[in-house]
C-alpha cells in the first residue's frame, strides 16, 4: 500500500515530507495517479479518459482541501503526522540515503533546468542526474516503507486521518469512492489498450 511512486515536481524538488503531499499517501491510501495518467495518455478513447482524469483531479483537490482543514483543526493529528514523517526520514537514513541533501541537490538541478541557460546537451545531462537522484530517493523510501514498524505506524495514521476527515466533512467517503471508481475504469481502459502496461 505504501510503495507507490512519489510524484516529484521539478519546480519544488519536494519529496514526501510536506503536508500538502501527504494527501496522496495518507488520505487517498493507494489511490496514486500511477496508471491513471498512463491510461489517459493512450490514443483510443482519449477524450473520455481526459474527462475522467479531470473528474479525478477535481475530487483529489476537494479531498486535499478537506485534509488540510482537518489537520488544521486537529493538532494531535498534525503531531501524529509529523511523528510518522520523522519515522520515515529516520528509516530512509538507515538505508544510507540523506533526504535533505538529496532534496537540496534536486532543487539545484531544478533551478538549472528552469534557468534556460543550458544547451540541449547540458539540459539532457542535468535531467539524467535529476532522474538518477529521484530513483535513489524513491528506492530508499520504498525500502523504508516496507519495514513492518513503519507500515504499522503509517496504517494507523491513515485510519486516523480518514476518520478525522469524515468527521470534518461527510463527503470524504463519497469522494474516495468516486476516485476509486474512476481509477478502476481508467486502469481497465489503459490495460485494454496496452496489455503490457
The answer to whether 51 and 44 are in contact (CB under 8 A) is: no
Residues 6+ apart with CB under 8 A from 186: 35, 36, 39, 40, 49, 52, 53, 56
pLDDT at 18: 40
The answer to whether 118 and 163 are in contact (CB under 8 A) is: no
pTM of the model as a whole: 0.64
Q: What is the Cα–Cα distance from 70 to 163, expressed in whole angstroms?
A: 10
Task: For the chain, give the number of residues.
Answer: 197
* Interval 41-77: pLDDT, tens: 445 456 777 888 888 888 888 888 898 899 999 999 9
* Interval 12-36: pLDDT, tens: 333 443 433 444 444 443 333 434 4
How many other C-beta atoms can be found within 10 angstroms of the C-beta atom of residue 59? 21
Candidate from 19-23, 108-112, 133-137, 151-155 with smallest mean pLDDT: 19-23
Amino acid at each position: 500500500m505504501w510503495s507507490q511512486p512519489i510524484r516529484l515536481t521539478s519546480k519544488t524538488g519536494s519529496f514526501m515530507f510536506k503536508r500538502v503531499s501527504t494527501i496522496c499517501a495518507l488520505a487517498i491510501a493507494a489511490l496514486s495517479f500511477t496508471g491513471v495518467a498512463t491510461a489517459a495518455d493512450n490514443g483510443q478513447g482519449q477524450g473520455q479518459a481526459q474527462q475522467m482524469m479531470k473528474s479525478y483531479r477535481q475530487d483529489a483537490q476537494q479531498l486535499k482541501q478537506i485534509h488540510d482543514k482537518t489537520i488544521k483543526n486537529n493538532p494531535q493529528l498534525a503531531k501524529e503526522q509529523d511523528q510518522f514523517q520523522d519515522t520515515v526520514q529516520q528509516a530512509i537514513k538507515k538505508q544510507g540515503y540523506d533526504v535533505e541533501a538529496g532534496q537540496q541537490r534536486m532543487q539545484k538541478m531544478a533551478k538549472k533546468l528552469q534557468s534556460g541557460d543550458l544547451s540541449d546537451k547540458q539540459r539532457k545531462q542535468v535531467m539524467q542526474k535529476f532522474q538518477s537522484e529521484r530513483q535513489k530517493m524513491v528506492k530508499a523510501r520504498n525500502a523504508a516503507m516496507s519495514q513492518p514498524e513503519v507500515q504499522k505506524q503509517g496504517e494507523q495514521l491513515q485510519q486516523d486521518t480518514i476518520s478525522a476527515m469524515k468527521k470534518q466533512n461527510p463527503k470524504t467517503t463519497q469522494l474516495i469512492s468516486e476516485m476509486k471508481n474512476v481509477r478502476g475504469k481508467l486502469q481497465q481502459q489503459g490495460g485494454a489498450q496496452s496489455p503490457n502496461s
